[in-house]
Amino acid sequence: MFSSLFETTFSLNDLWFMLKGAGVTLALTGWAVLGGTLLGVAFGVVRAVAPWWVNAPLGAVLDVFRSIPLLIQLVLANSFKTIVGIHWSPFTVGCVVLALYMSAYCTEIVRSGFLAVPATTRRAARSLGLSYRQDLTEIVFPIALRVALPSWIGLTLGVMKDTAMVWWIGVVELLRSSQVIVTRIQEPLFVLSIAGLIYFLMSFPIARLGARLEKRWREND
């Protein structure tokens, strides 16, 4: 293990180290997207249907998350955690901050998808005897999903790349692990190219899946 400290070329061990970092990136992305989407759907629906006195404060809080750079949010959250004495690992802090950050954007995507469903279509559903809840589950959500999906895919890909910033609070993800290797072998172009390739390979399937769903749905329009 220690011998690798004196290696000055890129070894399989290094690749493995980067892949482990990529695993952390994927895990961060997974938790952030899961949490961010669940919160985003909940907040988005509330934003679409709630009266102004619920809507305005919620909107203001989410605006804070959208307006402050993610890096600052991460550092502040990490310090705040220490101040109030919550014993979370940097990974957990990263997941929570990224999830909140994503939820702020996801809320607006969900809200606009929800509001894109014409009132007349919903009225037709209710006129058939569907309850408010059935109108939501059978009509509004499926239509809103089709409207919101492209933006959601874009957001997810963005969050995957934004996970690189948790490096600042001490999580060794793909970019940080690449940086470690760069420091040792002094080949930034080469190492970062590999990191870029790994990011691409992780993003590409999501982008493809989105494009495929979009195409399938568009055929019905």
The two tokens of residue 77 are 């959250």
* Closest CB 218 distance from another protein, rounded Å: 10
Report how far residue 78's alpha carbon sits from residue 153's, in angstroms, rounded to the nearest whole number: 28
| # of chain residues touching another protein (CB under 8 A) | 21
Query: Applying CB under 8 A, which part among 6-14, 39-47, 121-129, 208-216 lies near another protein?
Result: 121-129
Q: Is 134 in the site for another protein (CB under 8 A)?
A: yes
- Within 137-196, the residues that bind another protein by CB under 8 A are 138-139, 142-143, 146
Query: Applying CB under 8 A, which part among 1-9, 72-80, 118-126, 170-178 lies near another protein?
Result: 118-126
Report how far residue 163's alpha carbon sits from residue 154's, in angstroms, rounded to the nearest whole number: 15
Q: Is 131 in the site for another protein (CB under 8 A)?
A: yes
- Within 12-31, the residues that bind another protein by CB under 8 A are none
In Å, how far are 60, 118, 147, 198, 203 from 64, measured between CA atoms? Answer: 7, 30, 25, 32, 27
CB neighbour list of residue 169: distance below 8 Å, 6 or more residues apart: 74, 75, 78, 90, 93, 94
Count of other CB atoms within 10 angstroms of residue 211: 12
Residues binding another protein (CB under 8 A)? 118, 120-121, 123-131, 134, 138-139, 142-143, 146, 217, 220-221
